[in-house]
Each structure stands twice: as C-alpha cells, then as structure tokens.
Amino acid sequence: MSPELTRFKSVMRQNNCFITKQRLALFKYLQASPAISINALINDLPNQDQATVYRNIKLFERIGIISRLQLGWNSKLELSNTFHDHHHHMSCVKCGKVVAWEEDPTIELRIQTVALKLGFIPQDHQLEIRGLCQSCQK
Amino acid sequence: MSPELTRFKSVMRQNNCFITKQRLALFKYLQASPAISINALINDLPNQDQATVYRNIKLFERIGIISRLQLGWNSKLELSNTFHDHHHHMSCVKCGKVVAWEEDPTIELRIQTVALKLGFIPQDHQLEIRGLCQSCQK
DNA sequence: ATACAAATTGCGAAAAATTTGCAATTTGTA
DNA sequence: TACAAATTGCAAATTTTTCGCAATTTGTAT
C-alpha cells in the first residue's frame, strides 16, 4: 500500500468517515494528475453518480485531502490532491497546460513569516503562477 | 482621477473596449474590498443585469483587471481587483475573514526563478494562505 | 454638435453546475 | 452474523452561468 493511501485512510478514520469504494476510486483518480476538473471526474468515474462525486469532493475539501484551484482566466474550477509532494501549480495562459512543482523552502519560510506578522496561524497555502509555457513561446 | 482609474481606462482602450457606466461601477466596486463574491456584486449593483455583470467579469479577467480566488474549502468563488497594491490573500478557515497583503520581494523573486527554471515566462501569480486569524485563535 | 457603425446592455429563456430528499445499499463494529 | 449509522443512486429542485436578440449606448469621423 502506497504511503499516500495509508495517509488517506488514516485521515478518513480520524474524521469518522467510511472508506467506500467510491471514495477510494476518487482518491486514486485525483492522485494521477496535478489538477483535474470536476467534469473530467464525473466522466471518468462513470460507476459513480454525480451527486456522490460532488458530496465526496466536498468531504475531501473539508478534511483537507484536496483543494480547489482557479488556474487560468477562462478555466474551469479544478481540484488537486494535497497529498502530492507538489502543492504549487504553473499554468500556461495559451494552451492551458498545468505543471506542478515542489515546495520551495524559501517561499515556505517567507509565507510562515508573513502570516505570523499578520496575526494568523497559517495552516495551508496555495500558489499559482500563470504564464507562457515553453512550446507556446515559439 | 485616481491612478487606478487612469490605468483602468488605459487598459480598456488598449483592448478596444468601451468604457460604459456599468463597467466603471463594477471596477469601482471591486476596488473597495480585497475580495468579493459574484453574488455580492450582483446584489450590490442592482442597476445592472446579472448577464452584464457576468460578461464584464469575464472581460476584466481576460484583460487582466481582476482574478479569481478560491479562498476557503467551502467558500464561493471570489474576485479581486489586480490594480490593488496587494495581490495576496490570507483567509481565516473559521470566520472567513480575508486580509490582503502587499507583495513580498523575496517571494516575487523566487517565483520568477522557479518559473524560468520550468521554462515558463511568468505573467501573473496568486498566493493564498489559509489559517486561523487572531480573534479565532482565542 | 450630429450621425453613424459597432459594441454593449437588459430581458427572458436556456443551459450548465450543484444540491437535496429519500429509499436502498454498504460500511464498520460488536 | 446482525445491527445501527453512514453512504449511495436516483430523480427532481435549486443555483449559477450563458445565450439570442432587440433596444440602447459608445466612440469616432464628420
């Protein structure tokens, strides 16, 4: 069992949530790519009703398993699994491609400092960069 | 005329967009707070049809005047005026309060570096921190 | 000023996205 | 294995967003 799966089950148990096959399939699907739209989820998990998908997305958000991203100016809402090492996203304004990147210690540290200065206890953060990807620069 | 308003008009002209009173009202409203939901906009701009509000939000996003934020796990989509000095947001996971903060040179520089390393030409970015605000810590 | 072409608006209706109630099924626990 | 509680699927309701089109408004060139 992958460490992400172990962690997933542990978080679910901590929150008194049943581990159903629908939830497992959703979690695994979310692990496969850095960002995915709700529509893609509903289409690619055809054995689940859309109501179930929506309910479980909301649950996963509430207990911190996924978070919502707003990538481009015209893009749909997307979801990303927070159990990835990469929390941050860079998206191309032209072709829409999304690349995830690893935490950057300098940025993480700065975020801590800024949050504390404003009186917040930081819990989570999200950084999205928009720009032109290599192939769209040509 | 405020410098923001001047810049707004200039960006609008560059994009061959008419400066209508609906768009001016929308822009001014977006300037008043760090983040605002679409519903609040529609309710607070009662002299505009909701179709107009939606169309102009889309326009403003496309030409870079506003950007979308996804603040809390349960929060609605919000919009923020990019002409503010503060681009970044910190939101309280408990009470939903949103605080904007100024650019941080260390973070900005790091973002440039990371983007270039991944082959992107960065155009815009967005950083959102979630945590517990001072009053909700008690 | 005035007139004109093109862009924008308001309206109503359509389409898309999300949520809800409830009976049937599934889950974890004892 | 049996039970209580949680979850699912389904259909319908609700909410959010988009669209077509006639009427109005805007910027520009007289």
Cα nearest neighbour of B103 on chain A: A114
Among residues 89-128 of chain A, which lie with CB inside 8 Å of chain B?
Answer: 90, 92-93, 99, 101, 104, 106-107, 110-111, 114-115, 118-128
Using the CA of B77, give the nucleotide whose C1' is nearest.
D16
- Domain extents for chain A? 3-137
Half-sphere exposure of B122 (CA within 13 A, CB side): 20
Asked if residue B13 has pLDDT above 90, the reply is yes
Q: Do residues A107 and A125 lie in contact, with contact meaning Cβ atoms separated by under 8 Å?
A: no
Using alpha carbons, select from A48, A69, A59 the residue that is nearest to residue A11.
A59
Residues of B in contact with A137 (CB under 8 A): 121
Tens digit of each residue's pLDDT (9 = 90 or more) over A33-77: 878 899 999 999 989 999 999 999 999 988 888 888 876 666 677
Asked if residue B95 has pLDDT above 80, the reply is no
Residue B25 and residue A93: Cα distance in Å, rounded? 28
Six token digits for residue A130: 């928009």
Asked if residue A86 has pLDDT above 70, the reply is no
Asked if residue B24 has pLDDT above 70, the reply is yes
Q: Do residues B59 and B102 lie in contact, with contact meaning Cβ atoms separated by under 8 Å?
A: no
Residues of B in contact with A126 (CB under 8 A): 70, 127-128, 130
pLDDT on residue A115: 92
pLDDT on residue B85: 61
Phi-psi region of A119 (alpha: psi -120 to 50; beta: other; left: phi over 0): left
Asked if residue A17 has pLDDT above 70, the reply is yes
Residue A13 and residue B63: Cα distance in Å, rounded? 46
Helix (H, G, I), strand (E, B) or coil at B127: strand
Using the CA of B56, give the nucleotide whose C1' is nearest.
C8
Average pLDDT over every residue of B67-84:
74
Q: Give, as ranges, the nucleotides of chain D with any atom within 7 Å of a protein CB.
A: 6-12, 16-20, 25-27
Average pLDDT over every residue of B116-136:
87
Secondary structure of A28-95 as H, E, C letters = HHHHCCCCEEHHHHHHHCCCCCHHHHHHHHHHHHHCCCEEEEECCCCCCEEEEECCCCEEEEEEECCC
Residue B89 and residue A37: Cα distance in Å, rounded? 23
Helix (H, G, I), strand (E, B) or coil at A11: helix
Cα nearest neighbour of A110 on chain B: B107
Asked if residue A8 has pLDDT above 70, the reply is yes
| Superfamily of domain A3-137, CATH level 4 | Ferric-uptake regulator, C-terminal dimerisarion domain (3.30.1490.190)
Tens digit of each residue's pLDDT (9 = 90 or more) over B29-58: 998 887 889 999 999 998 999 999 999 999
